[in-house]
Amino acid sequence: MASFQLDDQVLIQETLFVRILTLNRPRQLNALSFEMLSRLSQLFLAYEDDANAKLIILKGNGRAFCAGGDVATVHRRFLEGNLKFGEKIGEKLLTLIYLVATCSKPQVSILNGIVMGGGVGISVNGKFRVATENSIFAMPENSLGLFPDVGSSYFLSRLPGFFGEYLGLTGARLDGAEMLACGLATHLVPSAKLSLLEKALISRAASATSSSCGLAFISEIIDEHSLQQPALNEKSALHKMDVIDKCFSRPTVEDFLSALEKEITTTDANKAGDEWLASTVRSLKKASPMSLKICLRSIREGRVQAIDECLVREYRIDCHVMRGQISKDFREGCRAILWDKDKKPKWKPSSLELITEHMVDHYFSRLDDDEELKLPRRCNLNVFPNAKL
């Protein structure tokens, strides 16, 4: 028999062996508030020690799984004079992502709708990610003057070829089939079957022993409800992997743009009516130049780092971005996109060419010892994160 507990922003359903958490801010597209992050962290720690908790299901209420962190509140607090709130919520979010990535209990995230930013972080870093035909994935942080954090330098850098650089820098959107094809999702289940899937997970977890309710057992249940080889849209960026690898493997953002623009002039893309190249160039030129520089370096460093190292580095960058000592692009992006909504941010520095290596180095520099992100000690570090994509 299931029992229900009601939190304003996180709904909790507990069966004998399954814990179901529902993000519950549908009007805000389930954007992660400080309170939600605190509650989710408490729950993941509690379930780690709960012998009856065999499985965690995470989903969202409404048309989004989770659209990201509550950036609007961060900006409002800044305007009110609370300059440290952004750092505090960043610490909470990245710590939660570490708990997700190292949790010994399998997590099934139901990504039925919008999944962006922080929503990606609390799902993709877990074991099972179930996309649907309604899924919309994106990492749009560069257009806000921020950068993709949430462990993205770990999981984006492990996507096929240089697809992670493409997604991280352009903020391009993917549908459920594309998420499955590139490894961001582990399964694609029609939304009409989600309730059946949830019931199957609950009932069969109840009948399984602790030793038999493992990853293969859970994956088999999800497989029974999944589309195995969904067709990709003919306009999918995954059909452009040769161009993506050719252009986004270059050492600098300037080289990306030069290579993409060369592709436009040396191919018959325009004759074929292909808008993809031009759209990709526009996305790069629209984003904060500083954010693009930070994003590329972060992903490249993430290729050779473990999840904890990536999160510690991303938190350093977050803090330097919030403090605005080199560039105040995050504040300007929030003003233009979320606050005044004129959608005309005035980035400073205004171009890639005005950004020196020394300026970028500042964002990757260590914080004072008492300000560094201190992740909880975990014994399960290598169970999921190093083999999930």
Q: How far apart are CA 23 and CA 65, in angstroms?
A: 7
DSSP string over 108-154: EEEE-SEEETHHHHHHHTSSEEEE-TT-EEE--GGGGT----TTHHH
Q: How far apart are CA 166 and CA 247, in angstroms?
A: 9
Q: Is 165 a catalytic residue?
A: no
Q: Is 141 a catalytic residue?
A: yes
225-236 burial code (b ≥16 CB/10 A, e <16): bbbeebeeeeeb
Q: Is 333 a catalytic residue?
A: no
Which residue among 149, 308, 314, 332 is the active-site one?
149
Q: How far apart are CA 152 and CA 290, in angstroms?
A: 17
HSE value, Cβ hemisphere, 13 Å, CA-based, for 196? 11
268-300 burial code (b ≥16 CB/10 A, e <16): ebeeeeeebbeebbebbeebbbbbbbbbbbbbe
Which residue among 70, 87, 91, 141 is the active-site one?
141
Q: How far apart are CA 175 and CA 178, in angstroms?
A: 5
Which residue among 60, 68, 69, 90 is the active-site one?
69
Helix (H, G, I), strand (E, B) or coil at 4: strand
Which residue among 68, 90, 118, 151 is the active-site one?
118
Q: Is 69 a catalytic residue?
A: yes
Closest CA relative to residue 205, chosen from 78, 61, 20:
20
Q: Which residues are known to be catalytic? A: 69, 118, 141, 149
